[in-house]
Amino acid sequence: MSQNALPLTKATTATTAAAIAMATAAVLGTAGAAPAAQSAAESTPTCDVSGLRATLNDKGGHQVGMSHEGTVLVLTNTSARTCALRGYPGLQLEDAHHKAVATNTKWGSTYFIPDPGKSTLLLRPGGSAEAALAWAHADAPRMVQAGYLQVTPPASRGHLTIPFDKTVTNGDLSVTAFAHSIDVS
């Protein structure tokens, strides 16, 4: 080993140590902000059905094609406090007499819209969250004529019921996770 190699190694080691220290400080600084935001989300109560309204909104999009149809499911915070929502809704089809009919719900991407994935949404009073909802209406051995749709918000035991006069192949629905906005263009 030459005499020149030793100072180079010490310089390289010092530079590397400084870089590691700066990277660690940057990560800790960023990580310090994340727990604060996470703490705020964790301390916000989960949205409850008593403070939510469910609606369907096509948002001017054209989610129709190849025997499939889609719309946007909207949950609006009608309470006077901010609440948290995270994940996917539970869905149950009902007939015209509000009798539950066999329903299969797939969480993830729909025929038209990619799944945005789970994230915690804080809904201020009047704020809303959206999920893409889709189904097929092609001929099949079991066609379900729905009249209503039960919507169970994530982490909720109760549900909301909205009109849903649709024919659904085999009672199969697909729905994305809730997001602040779903783009249907």
- Over the stretch 125-181, which tens digit does the pLDDT of each residue have? 999 999 999 999 998 888 999 999 999 999 999 999 999 999 999 999 999 999 999
The CATH number given to whatever domain includes residue 54 is: 2.60.40.10
Q: Are residue 21 and residue 71 in the same domain, yes or no?
A: no
In a domain, 182, yes or no: no
In a domain, 180, yes or no: no
Q: Are residue 103 and residue 60 in the same domain, yes or no?
A: yes
CA distances from 163 to 29, 73, 93, 156, 182 (A): 49, 12, 10, 20, 21
pTM of the model as a whole:
0.78
DSSP state, residue 15: H
What is the rounded distance in angstroms from the CA atom of residue 173 to the CA atom of residue 152?
14
pLDDT single digits (tens) 17-44: 444 444 444 434 444 444 545 555 568 9
What is the rounded distance in angstroms from the CA atom of residue 125 to the CA atom of residue 145?
35
Examine the pLDDT at 5 and tell me if it is beyond 60.
no
Q: Are residue 23 and residue 93 in the same domain, yes or no?
A: no
Conformational region of residue 121, where left means phi above 0, alpha means psi within -120 to 50, and beta covers everything else: beta
In a domain, 183, yes or no: no
Which residue would you say has higher pLDDT here, 60 or 63?
Answer: 63
Q: Are residue 122 and residue 141 in the same domain, yes or no?
A: yes
Q: Are residue 32 and residue 58 in the same domain, yes or no?
A: no
Q: Are residue 67 and residue 6 in the same domain, yes or no?
A: no
In a domain, 68, yes or no: yes
Q: Are residue 86 and residue 66 in the same domain, yes or no?
A: yes
Letter for the amino acid at 94? E
What is the rounded distance in angstroms from the CA atom of residue 110 to the CA atom of residue 106?
9
Q: Which domain holds residue 18?
A: 1-43
In a domain, 112, yes or no: yes
Q: Are residue 115 and residue 83 in the same domain, yes or no?
A: yes
Q: Are residue 155 and residue 139 in the same domain, yes or no?
A: yes
Which tokens in the block code for residue 118? Answer: 């789970």
pLDDT at 40: 57
pLDDT at 62: 80
In a domain, 185, yes or no: no
In a domain, 12, yes or no: yes
Examine the pLDDT at 7 and tell me if it is beyond 50.
no
Q: Are residue 29 and residue 115 in the same domain, yes or no?
A: no
DSSP state, residue 113: S
Q: Are residue 67 and residue 126 in the same domain, yes or no?
A: yes
In a domain, 1, yes or no: yes
Number of domains in the chain: 2
pLDDT single digits (tens) 37-59: 555 556 899 999 999 999 999 98
Out of 8-17, 53-62, 103-112, which region has the weakest mean confidence (pLDDT)?
8-17
